[in-house]
Amino acid sequence: MGDVAGFVAATYQRGVPVIQFPTTLLAQVDSSIGGKVGIDHREGKNLIGSFYQPRAVLIDPGLLDTLPRREFLNGLAEVIKYGFIADPEILDFLLAEDGLKKGLSGQKRIRLIARCAGIKAAVVSQDEREAGYRMILNYGHTTGHAIEKVTGYSAVSHGQAVAVGMIVAAEMAHHLGKLNRDDVELHRRVISRAGLPIKLPQVEISALLEAMLLDKKYGTSNRFVLLEEVGRPVVVEGVPEEIVVKSLLATQEE
């Protein structure tokens, strides 16, 4: 709902003030921060939207006490993303945290939200309109958005899709000689430990490739956020299709 409210605020009377009050973990650590307000279209994820900064973002972690498990996992996938692209200590925390499958609480929750929100704000402050650096925030999202599209934006949640997308990105980086196998397996360990999927749902690889072509980050050729090592993301253009397919197949349900 934050994206819808932001988009309406950006377009009504050519822009009216908006304050974001995120009530999900996903919104508190990611989507309410940075001013990107996008709406899904049947042709692709977030294809309709704008950049429109809120006047303020007010976060109350206590609201997460009533959050359904599925929604908690949506946000946890984004938390894991921040661990891989910016702060490996987040991954250590998640691997050690016994309450992950029930939900974080207390000061641990506050610290984790604050850390992720701080990373997002720092990245956006350097590249507000995603001309380059901000693209690292899309780690796992190119494949993830394609999964959401081909499954009708309902069968697979955003967090589940992004979780699998990060596995695919790790496999892709490994096949390109950028990421070692231990770090690929770290992806699987962290994501499965959190209760998120590590395998593609039953979808056609050709359908995923077609959906990726409509991704707004593609440009004139494919474009993926990959890792050279944990905490060192890079944007790679023109990944050979055989590598993309090989990476998808490595993550497919048997």
pLDDT given at position 254: 46
The per-residue pLDDT for range 102-133, each reduced to its tens digit, is 567 788 899 999 999 999 999 999 999 888 99
Write the pLDDT tens digit of every residue in 4-29: 888 888 898 888 999 999 999 999 99
What distance in Å separates the CA atoms of residue 12 and residue 29, rounded to the nearest whole number?
27
Residues whose CB falls within 8 Å of the CB of residue 201, separated by 6 or more in sequence, listed in order: 147, 151, 155, 156, 164, 253
Give me the sign of the Cα torsion angle 9, 12, 15, 17: negative
Domains and CATH numbers, the chain: 65-249 (1.20.1090.10)
Is 199 a residue of the active site? no
Residues forming beta bridges with residue 237, ordered by sequence position: 223
pLDDT for residue 219: 58
Is 174 designated active site? no
Pinpoint the alpha helices (H) of the chain.
2-11, 25-26, 69-85, 88-96, 106-126, 141-150, 158-175, 181-193, 205-213, 241-249
The segments of the chain whose pLDDT lies below 50 read 254
What is the per-residue pLDDT for 110?
Answer: 93
Model confidence, pTM: 0.92
Secondary element (H or E) of residue 139 = none
Catalytic residue among 149, 158, 174, 175: 158
Place of tokens 């996008």: 38
Establish whether 14 is a catalytic residue: yes
